[in-house]
Structure 1
Amino acid sequence: MVAVTLYLAVAVVTLLVIYIKYFGRKRKEGEPPIVPGHFLFGNGKAFSQNAVEFIHKSTARFGKVFTIRLLNQHVTIINDPHSYEQVCKERNFDFDAIQKQVNNNVFSFKLHDSKKMIKEASKKVKGQYLYANMQSFAHHLQEAFDASTESTPAENGWCKDRLRAMSSKTMFRAIFRTIFGKEKPDDVFEPMTVYKNFDLFHKYFNFLWLGLPIKLFPKACRALEMLVQMPTSNDIINRDDVSDYIRYSTQFMKAHGQTEADIIGHNLVFLHVNYNTFRVSYWLIYYLTQHPEAIEALVAEIDDTVRVKSETCDDESDIELSIQDLDRLPVLNSILNETIRYTSGVLMVRAITEDTAFTMEDGSVHNLRAGDRVAMYPPAIHNDPEVFENPEEFKYDRFIDAKFYKDEKEIRNPLLAFGSLCPGKRLAMTQAKWFIFNLAHQFDFQTEEGQTCCPDVKYYGHEILPPTNDVDVLYRRRENRRRIEFVHDRFVTFHCVLVEVNPYRNLQSYVL
C-alpha cells in the first residue's frame, strides 16, 4: 500500500513537472498578456471554433499583442496591420522552423540544405519561369474546359455539375498538369484521384501541423496511402511538360541523397501550396453567381477588352492577352481581392529564435520568448469593420481605387492573404485571374436557385477556407467566343509582326 502511494505520488509529481515545462506559463515583465484557456488544450477550442471572433474579443480585452496557447505551443498574436513590415523584417522571427515542422509533421520528411534548395527552386516560379508556367497553365486549362463540356451531360445546352466537381475538373486539373506534366492513361497519380484524396487529407492539416499523429485520423491515413502512389522521380523529371520547379527540386534532392519518399513528401507540400489557388477559383465562381451586378460588370469589362484586342489582329487569330493586360482590369482585380479577403484563413506564423524585444510600428515594445511562435492573423484584419466597412458583405468593387485605414492611418498592406515569403504569389494570382477571365469569356454560368454555402470557419488556419457545403452549378458555352492566348508581357504579336510594348506605360497599381 505504501509502495502504491509512493508510485502515485511520483507519477503526479512527474506529470506536474511535464505540465509546467510544456504547458504552464507565468508572464514575465514586459511580455504580452496571456489569454486564459483550458489547462490542457489552452485556447485551441476557442480558436478552432471561430478564430476571428476569438482574436477580436482577445484584442478588445488585452490589446493588439497577446499570447495564446495551442496545445503545448505558445503563440504571440500581433493584431496590428501597421506592424506587418516590422514582423516581416525581424531577423529573430524565422520561417525555416515552421516549414520544417510542416514537412515533418504533415508529410513525414526532412529537407537537406533546405534554405539553399528553397531559394533556388523558388526562382522557378518567378521571372521568365512565370511566363513558362502561365503558358503551360493556359494550355491545360483550355483542354480542361473542353473536356469538361464534352464529358458532362447537357440539357438545352446547359451542363450541370456540383461546383466542387466542376472547379476540380477545370482548375485543379490544369494546376496539377502544370506542376507534374500530363499523366499517362494508366497512372494512379492523375488529377481527379489526387484531388479526391488530397481534399480529404487537407481537412486534417491543422491537427497534423500541431503534431498530432496521423494514425489518430484513419481517413487521412487512407488518403495519404493513395497520394504517395506517384511515379518515380526519374519518370516525372523526364516528362517534357513537367514544371521547372519540380524538375529542379527533384534533381537537387536526388543530388543530396534524399529518398524517393522524401521527394514524394516534398511534391505533396508543393501541391498543398497550389491547392489554395484551386479553392480561390471555387469561391470566385460562387460569389459571381450570387451577385449578378458583379458578373455583369466583369463580363462587360472582359468583352470590352476582347473587342479592343480584336481590332488589332485578324479575324482568324486567337486574342492575345498578357499579365499586364490582366493587371489593368480594375473589376477583375477587385473581385479577386474581395474573394480572397472574404475567404482567407491563413495564419502567418514564425518561430522566435532568440529572446526578442519587439518594437511595434507605434513604438511600443514587447518581450517575446525564444522557442515560442509569433503570428499575424490576416482574417482578423480582413473582418475588422474599422478597416473594411460591413466586412460580412461581399462587395465586388470594394478594392477599386480604394484605400483602407486603421486608427486613422492608411494601411500599406490591407490584404495579407499570402504572407511575406510566398514566392509563388504572383503566379497564383495570375492563374486565378486567367481562370475567371476565360470562364466568364467562354461560358454563362449560374448556381442552382436557392442553393447557398459559406466559408467554413472551423478551418480557420487554412490559407483559403473550404465551403460548408457544396452547390449545383449550371454552365454553357457562349456563342461566337474567340479563344484567348497567353503571351509574354513584353512582346505581343499582331498579324505575325512582333511589337514591343512598354511594360510600364499606363500600368495601374492594385493591392495584391
Structure 2
Amino acid sequence: MVAISMYLFAASVALVAVYLKYLYRRRRRDEPPMVPGGLIWGNCKEFGEHAVRFLHKSNKSCGDIFTIRLLHQYLTIVMDPHSYDRFTREKNFDFDPIQKQVNHNVFSFELINPRKMLKEAGKTVRGHYMNNIMQSFSKYLNETFADISTKDILGNLHEIPKGGKWCTSNLRVLTARTVFTSLFKTIFGNPRPEDTFEPMSVFENFEIYHKYFNYMWLGLPSSLFPAATKALKALVKQPCSSDLLSREDLSHYIRFSTEYMLNCNQAEAEIMGHNLVYLHVNYNTFRVSFWAMYFLLEHREAWVALSTEVQAAIDEKKQYCSNDEPVVFNLEDVDSLPILDSIVKETMRTTSGVFMVRAIAEDTEFEMENGQKYYLRKGDKVAMYPPALHKDPEIFEEPEQFKYDRFVDATFYKNGREVKNPVIAFGSLCPGKRLAITQSKWFLMCLVNMFDLELLEGQSTCPDSAYHGHEILPPKNDVEVRFRHKDSFQTLSFE
C-alpha cells in the first residue's frame, strides 16, 4: 500500500513538473493578454468547436491582440485587419519552421534549402507559365465535361441522354471528376493506363487524409489515425521521378522541383512527399470550385446574373470567330467580369478556414497599426486568422449570408478606415493564388456556358466549422444535383 502511495505521489509530482515547465506561464509586462483555458488542453476545445466564434468572443474581452494555448503551443492572435501589412513584413515572424512542421508532421519529408527551391519553383506558376498552365487546364476541363455525360465514375461508357434528359450526381463527385481531375492532369500529365496514381483514387484518399490534417500538423502521430495511415500509403504509390520527368505534359513546377530535389540528392520518398504538398495546395482550387458551384445553385439569382455576364462576353468575342471555332479568352478578359470576380471572392470569404501562422524567431516588440506595442516571446507562434475577419459584422453586413454581388464596386471599412485586404483566402505567401482564383473563375465560366444544373429538392449543406485551419473548409455533407448539356453552346478556349 505504501509503495502504491509513493508511486502515485511521484507520478503527481512529475505531472505538476511537466505542467509548470511546458503548459503554465505568467504574463509578462507589455505582453498581450492571455485567454483562460483548460489545464491540459488550453483553448483547444473552444477553438476546435468553432474557431471564429471563439476568436470573436476573445476579441471582445481581450482586444485586438491576445494569446491562446493549443496543447503546449502558445499562439498570439492579431485580430486587427489594418495590421495585416505589419504582420506579413515583420522579419522576426518566420514561416520556415511552420512549413517544415507541415512537411514533416503531415507529409513525412523535409526540403533542403526550402527558401531557394520555393522561390525559384514559385516562378513557374506566374507570368507566361501561368498562361501555359491555364491552356492545359482548359483543355483537360473540356475533356472532363465531355466525359461526365458519356462515362460513369468508373470510366465505363454509357448511353448519352437524349432529348434534354438529366444526369444525376453528388456535387462533390461531379466537382472531383471535372475540376480535381483537370488539376491533377495539369500538374502530373495524363496518367498511363496502368497507373494507380490517377485522379479519382487520389481524390478519394485525399478526402480521407485531410480529415486528420489539423491533428497531425499539431504533432499527433499519424499512427493514431489508421484511416489516415492507410490513405497515405496509397497516396505515395506514385510514378518514380524518372517516369514523371519523361512525360512531355508534366507541369513546369513538378519538373523544376523534382530536378532540384534530385540535384540535392533527396530520396524518392521525399520527392513524392513534396508532390503531395503541391497537390494539397491545388486541392483548395477544387474546394473553392465546389462551393462556388453550390452557392450558384442555392442562389438562382446568382446563376442567372453570372450566365448573363458570361453570355454577353461570349457574344462579344463571337464576332471574331466562326460558329465551329472555340471562343477564345485571355487572362485580362476573365479578370474583366465583375460578377464572376465577386462570386469567387464571396465564396472564399464565406468558406475560408486559412490560418496564417508564423514562428517568432526572436523576442519581438510588435507595433500594431494604431501605435500600440506588445512584446512577443521567442519560441511562440503568432497568427492572423482571416475567417474571423471575413465574418466580422463591422466589415461585412450580414457576414453569415452569401451575397453574390457583395464585391461589385465595393469598399469595406473597420473602425472608420478602409480595409485594404478584405479577403485573405490563401495567406500572404502563396505564389499560386492568382492561378487558383483564375482556374476557379474559368471553371465557372465554362460551367454556365455548357450546362443546365440544379440542386435536387431538399438538398443543402454548409461549411464544417470543425475543420477551421484548412485553407478552404469542407462541407458537412455532399448534395445531389442533376445536370445536362445545353442544346447549343460554343466551346471556350484559353490562350
Please tell me the TM-score bracket, short chain as reference: over 0.9
Question: 1:238: how far off?
Answer: 1.2
The 2-side partners of 1:41 and 1:239 are apart by 48
The 2-side partners of 1:429 and 1:114 are apart by 25
Aligned to 1:104: 104
1:279-298 equivalent positions in 2, closer than 5 A: 279-298=287-306
Aligned to 1:492: none
Aligned to 1:245: 253
What SS does the corresponding residue of 1:136 show, helix, strand or coil?
A: helix
Aligned to 1:21: 21
Aligned to 2:317: 309
- 1:363 and 2:371 correspond: yes
Give CA-to-partner distance per residue, 1:233-260, whole Å, 9 cap, x none.
1111111111110011011111111111
The 2-side partners of 1:81 and 1:419 are apart by 13
The 2-side partners of 1:422 and 1:163 are apart by 27
Contact 2:323–2:490 under 8 Å retained in 1: no
Aligned to 2:123: 123
Aligned to 2:184: 176
Aligned to 1:48: 48
Give CA-to-partner distance per residue, 1:10-29, whole Å, 9 cap, x none.
43333322222221121000
Q: What letter corresponds to residue 162 of structure 1 in structure 2?
A: N
Aligned to 1:146: 146
Of 325, 330, 341 in structure 1, the residue corresponding to residue 333 of structure 2 is 325
The 2-side partners of 1:107 and 1:135 are apart by 30
Aligned to 1:462: 470
Question: 1:43: how far off?
Answer: 0.4
The 2-side partners of 1:357 and 1:46 are apart by 28
The 2-side partners of 1:80 and 1:157 are apart by 52
Question: 1:271: how far off?
Answer: 0.7
Aligned to 1:413: 421
Count of residues in Structure 1 that have an aligned counterpart in Structure 2 = 487
The 1-side partners of 2:426 and 2:145 are apart by 27
1:67-78 equivalent positions in 2, closer than 5 A: 67-78=67-78
Aligned to 1:505: none
Of 396, 411, 415 in structure 1, the residue corresponding to residue 404 of structure 2 is 396
Q: What letter corresponds to residue 240 of structure 2 in structure 1?
A: T
1:175-254 equivalent positions in 2, closer than 5 A: 175-254=183-262
Question: 1:5: how far off?
Answer: 5.0
Segment drifting more, 89-98 vs 12-21 = 12-21
Contact 2:343–2:404 under 8 Å retained in 1: yes
- 1:423 and 2:439 correspond: no
Give CA-to-partner distance per residue, 1:468-512, whole Å, 9 cap, x none.
11111111111221111101xxxxxxxxxxxxxxxxxxxxxxxxx
The 2-side partners of 1:232 and 1:406 are apart by 51
The 1-side partners of 2:302 and 2:186 are apart by 29
- 1:35 and 2:43 correspond: no
The 1-side partners of 2:5 and 2:111 are apart by 48
Question: 1:378: how far off?
Answer: 0.6
Q: What letter corresponds to residue 375 of structure 2 in structure 1?
A: N
The 2-side partners of 1:308 and 1:157 are apart by 30
The 2-side partners of 1:6 and 1:291 are apart by 67
Give CA-to-partner distance per residue, 1:104-128, whole Å, 9 cap, x none.
0001111111111111111111111
The 2-side partners of 1:306 and 1:486 are apart by 13
Question: 1:314: how far off?
Answer: 2.7
Aligned to 1:382: 390
Aligned to 1:499: none
Give CA-to-partner distance per residue, 1:376-411, whole Å, 9 cap, x none.
111111111110000111100000000000001100
Structure 2: gaps spanning 5 or more residues: 153-157
Question: 1:431: how far off?
Answer: 0.4
Question: 1:356: how far off?
Answer: 0.5
1:432-447 equivalent positions in 2, closer than 5 A: 432-447=440-455
Give CA-to-partner distance per residue, 1:173-225, whole Å, 9 cap, x none.
00011111110111110000000001110010000000000011111111111
The 2-side partners of 1:479 and 1:302 are apart by 17
Give CA-to-partner distance per residue, 1:314-355, whole Å, 9 cap, x none.
333211101100100000000000011011111111100000
Question: 1:8: how far off?
Answer: 4.4
Q: TM-score, normalised by structure 1?
A: 0.93
Aligned to 1:276: 284
The 1-side partners of 2:289 and 2:402 are apart by 16
Q: TM-score, normalised by structure 2?
A: 0.97
The 2-side partners of 1:425 and 1:127 are apart by 13
What SS does the corresponding residue of 2:320 show, helix, strand or coil?
A: coil
- 1:478 and 2:486 correspond: yes
The 1-side partners of 2:115 and 2:5 are apart by 52
What SS does the corresponding residue of 1:311 show, helix, strand or coil?
A: helix
The 2-side partners of 1:476 and 1:342 are apart by 28
Of 143, 159, 170 in structure 2, the residue corresponding to residue 162 of structure 1 is 170
The 2-side partners of 1:471 and 1:313 are apart by 38
Q: What letter corresponds to residue 400 of structure 1 in structure 2?
A: V
1:342-361 equivalent positions in 2, closer than 5 A: 342-361=350-369
Aligned to 2:155: none
